[in-house]
Amino acid sequence: MKTVTDSQITICGHGCNNPSTKNLNVYSTTRYNQRAKNGVHKGIVEVRRHVHMTDASRKKFVETYKTILGRNRYSQEKRQYVYTKCSDGKYYSDCSSSGMATMAKIGLDTGGLLNTAGIHSSGKFTTVPVTIKDGHITDPWKLEIGDCILFAGSDPGRPKQIGHVEYVYSMPGTKNSIKKKCVVYKAKDQTATHLAVKFDGDVVRVLEDCKDGWSLCTDGVVLGYIKNVAINKVGLSGYLKGTVTKDTYIREKNSKTSQIKVAVLEGTNIQIVTMRKYWTYVIANVDGVSLKGWVPTKYVSYK
């Protein structure tokens, strides 16, 4: 299965310089390769998400954080001057206040300008169940814009030795809704393992239109394939078109002993739903009737 990597994700944050954006993969590697005096890698510790963060507020988060990129100066003493000028006419922030002030500005209650340990312990946030290995999030499709990525720092007295935070700034793919009940499959094959069931109105992130009637999608929990006919978005590709190259039968199942549904002649136009090594699931128009079933792959041709 194709997958999402952390190299496809942009984060934003404020270290000792101005607030900036950076690549999650590069930054994760850089942080993990740094060690505190007690030998702890300064890599990712956990991910926290505001409990009331919505897609609308995620858009506002990016639009608002963008205004401080390259502008604010780093200061822990003046960290509250994120969006209001200090008496010297300048703006300031640190890693945590830059994100907390942004959330507050777009209407999310964070409980104040929390520091990194506060983000970790606050009931305003929930933990995102990502898997972290060697400094990288191995299932980054679970992330959403606005998520707080917490990193280890130098102070072993803090919970999990947390000392820095960055925020998810952009994710691959686009959000789309489901228009009819469907299954998320492990492969582009309707006989593949079912990973989840989605219902009308559910929202998924479409990571890739595979150009064959399927899309790689995630609901933030599982990553798999959904048929485009179930996704409520104009422009997603339809099934591959092909023809039958020899007189054969459409069968109920992918087996020579399976019940025959109808005979199809050489040259019959088909839509290819699932193509496997020996059998292909097709939609064929036979005498004005649309029929679905399995035909031998060796008798299928497509462009």
Q: In which element (H, E) is residue 27 found?
A: helix 24-32
* Domain shared by 26 and 99, yes or no: yes
* Domain shared by 17 and 164, yes or no: yes
pLDDT surpasses 80 at 284: yes
245 — pLDDT class (breaks 50, 70, 90)? very high
Q: In which element (H, E) is residue 44 found?
A: strand 44-50
The residues, any chain, with a CB within 8 Å of residue 259's CB and separated by 6 or more, are 251, 252, 253
The residues, any chain, with a CB within 8 Å of residue 169's CB and separated by 6 or more, are 10, 11, 12, 21, 62, 65, 145
pLDDT surpasses 80 at 1: no
Would you give the DSSP letter of residue 229? G
Is position 1 within any domain?
no
pLDDT at 211: 93
* Domain shared by 34 and 103, yes or no: yes
Is position 123 within any domain?
yes
pLDDT surpasses 90 at 112: yes
What's the domain range around 55?
A: 6-170
Per the prediction, the chain carries an average pLDDT of: 96
Number of domains present in the structure of the chain: 3
108/102 Cα distance (integer angstroms):
9
Please say whether the beta carbons of 228 and 209 come within 8 A.
yes
* Domain shared by 213 and 141, yes or no: no
pLDDT tens digits, residue range 148-182? 999 999 999 999 999 999 999 999 999 999 999 99
pLDDT at 180: 94
* Domain shared by 216 and 293, yes or no: no
pLDDT at 303: 73
* Domain shared by 152 and 254, yes or no: no
* Domain shared by 165 and 187, yes or no: no
Question: Apex CA 75: angle with CA 70 and CA 78, to 5°?
Answer: 110
217/4 Cα distance (integer angstroms):
10
DSSP string, 140-188: GGG--TT-EEEEE-S-TTSGGGEEEEEEEEE-SSEEEEBSS-EEEESSS
2 — pLDDT class (breaks 50, 70, 90)? confident
* Domain shared by 207 and 290, yes or no: no
* Domain shared by 246 and 294, yes or no: yes
Mean pLDDT for the stretch of residues 31-37: 97
pLDDT tens digits, residue range 49-95? 999 999 999 999 999 999 999 999 999 999 999 999 999 999 999 99
Could you tell me what percent of the chain has a pLDDT over 70?
100
pLDDT at 57: 98
234 — pLDDT class (breaks 50, 70, 90)? confident
The CATH number of the domain where 214 resides is what? Answer: 2.30.30.40
Is position 146 within any domain?
yes
